Amino acid sequence: MDNRSVRARAGVSGAYFVQGLCFAGLLSQVPSLKDKFHFTEDDLTLVLLAVPVIAGLGSVLAGYLAPRFGSAAVLRISGPLVGVAMTLVGLVPTRLGLYLAVGAFGLFLGSVDASMNMQGVGVQRRYGRSLLASFHGWWSLAGILGALAMAGANKIDLPLPVALGSVALVGIAVALSVGPLLLRRPEETAVAPSTADEPPPRIPWAPIVLVGLAVMFMYISDSATSNWSAVYLRDALHGSRSIAPLGLSAYLTCQVLGRSAADRLVRRFGPVRVVAAGGLIGAAGMTVVAAAPGPAVGILGFAIVGAGLCVVVPQSFSAAGALDPTGSGVAVARVNLFNYVGFVVGAALIGTVAKGASLRWAFVVPAALALVIVALAPSFAVARRIQPVEPSTTDPAAATRDIAAR
């Protein structure tokens, strides 16, 4: 494999790391934000809804900008700004300031999410084999570190601005350092240089919707875990303040373990079987969460959910890449929208059921929806279409771009 591809793989891994670190770090402090601003359950639901709604706008913006300026340019700008917005969340003293900071965080988060997956699909295409699970594994690993950092900060009663700012500073530093390693332009990942002057093919919506629905149902479970696991463990299962973030940590730990093996499993068994098995395991884990008698069993349930559903998102972007042979990023941005739809639906759904019944009953809903992923698994068959692409050596312009990228 050429050195440019290896460097790009390292750079993209770093971008996933930054997003996972900041995202999990902020969400692990949801109980602290709830206490600081004296939010009711309804208030908290609205705040949690703001992140995915605005992140969806960020994803749309990235889908518009990336084909014109390159996903690397979008990622280099939005990556550090996620950390800046995270710092502001910890610093603002009023609810209005919090809403603005959370809005900025969501916008840059969505932009990073779409552009880093565009980069991931491009690197995977250059390698010619499944790699996206490993990239998302870096996201999960960083999420573990972010959640554990916040658990430690809570244990020693570190002020919220210091806790969030410290993690954000690490994210900003990593984002700035990996930027030069990214693939510079969309054309670096096109299927073949000979197609560069041809209009991009029409990308069908039907297969994107099917894959996207599976992503949406996965993210309902993910939203329930990310947004409500700490509150559930503390309030419903009577865990301590330092124990509360460990549900998300366990979830992300098993995501890392699952994703470390997922690419090999996909190459051996294919994406359809792997996604179907993941949906079944995820449903079982969420059932354990809903039935948990105490924090320890609840944490175990979140771990099982992470191990099962970890395969869905990487394979969805593999499928999007296969549906977009020019590497424009349009299909990736479209699939990524279902991510935020799932988060919006998940946050609202869990909050509504929690208010009407209890948080325990609220976790029954994602357990049932995870089973729908099994039915949608055949739509992931398109993700088998991964062909290796090497940079052109016959096109002088492409060669010049590649040299400049190095």
**pLDDT tens for each residue of 171-227:** 999 999 998 888 876 444 444 433 444 555 577 778 889 999 999 999 899 888 877
Among 40-54, 141-155, 275-289, which is the least confidently predicted range? 40-54
- b/e map of 281-298 (b: 16 or more CB within 10 Å)? bbbbbbbbbbebeebeeb
Q: Identify the H or E element spanning 23.
A: helix 3-27
Angle (CA) 135-29-314 rounded to 5° is 20
Examine the pLDDT at 276 and tell me if it is beyond 80. yes
Task: Domain 3-405: state its class.
Answer: mainly alpha
Structure tokens at 3: 């050195």
CA 352 to chain centre: 24
Q: What is the pLDDT of residues 298-355, one digit of tens each?
A: 999 999 999 999 999 999 988 888 887 666 677 888 888 888 888 778 877 888 888 8
Examine the pLDDT at 15 and tell me if it is beyond 90. yes
Minimal CA–CA distance to 212: which of 317, 59, 286, 123? 317
How many other CB atoms are found less than 10 A from the CB of residue 85? Answer: 23
Examine the pLDDT at 74 and tell me if it is beyond 70. yes
128 pLDDT tier (thresholds 50, 70, 90): confident
* C-alpha span between 192 and 325 (Å, rounded): 9
Angle (CA) 130-131-133 rounded to 5° is 105
Q: What is the pLDDT of residues 145-166, one digit of tens each?
A: 888 888 888 888 889 899 999 9
| 270, 274, 275, 277: CA torsion to nearest 10 | 150
Domain extent listing, the chain? 3-405
Q: For residue 380, what are the contacts with CB-CB under 8 A and spacing of at least 6?
A: 211, 214, 271, 272, 275, 315, 316, 318, 319
Work out the mean pLDDT of the chain and round it to a whole number: 83
Examine the pLDDT at 96 and tell me if it is beyond 50. yes
DSSP state for residue 383 in the 8-state scheme: G
* C-alpha span between 192 and 196 (Å, rounded): 7
Q: Measured between alpha carbons, how far is residue 358 from residues 19, 283, 352, 361, 364 in Å?
A: 31, 19, 9, 5, 10
- Is 63 in contact with 333 (CB distance < 8 Å)? yes
403 pLDDT tier (thresholds 50, 70, 90): very low
- Which pLDDT belongs to residue 328? 65
Mean pLDDT of 41-63: 80
How many other CB atoms are found less than 10 A from the CB of residue 357? Answer: 11
- Which pLDDT belongs to residue 36? 87
Q: What is the pLDDT of residues 365-402, one digit of tens each?
A: 999 999 999 999 999 987 665 544 554 443 434 433 33
- Which pLDDT belongs to residue 1? 64
Helix axes 41-69, 71-91, angle to 10 degrees: 160
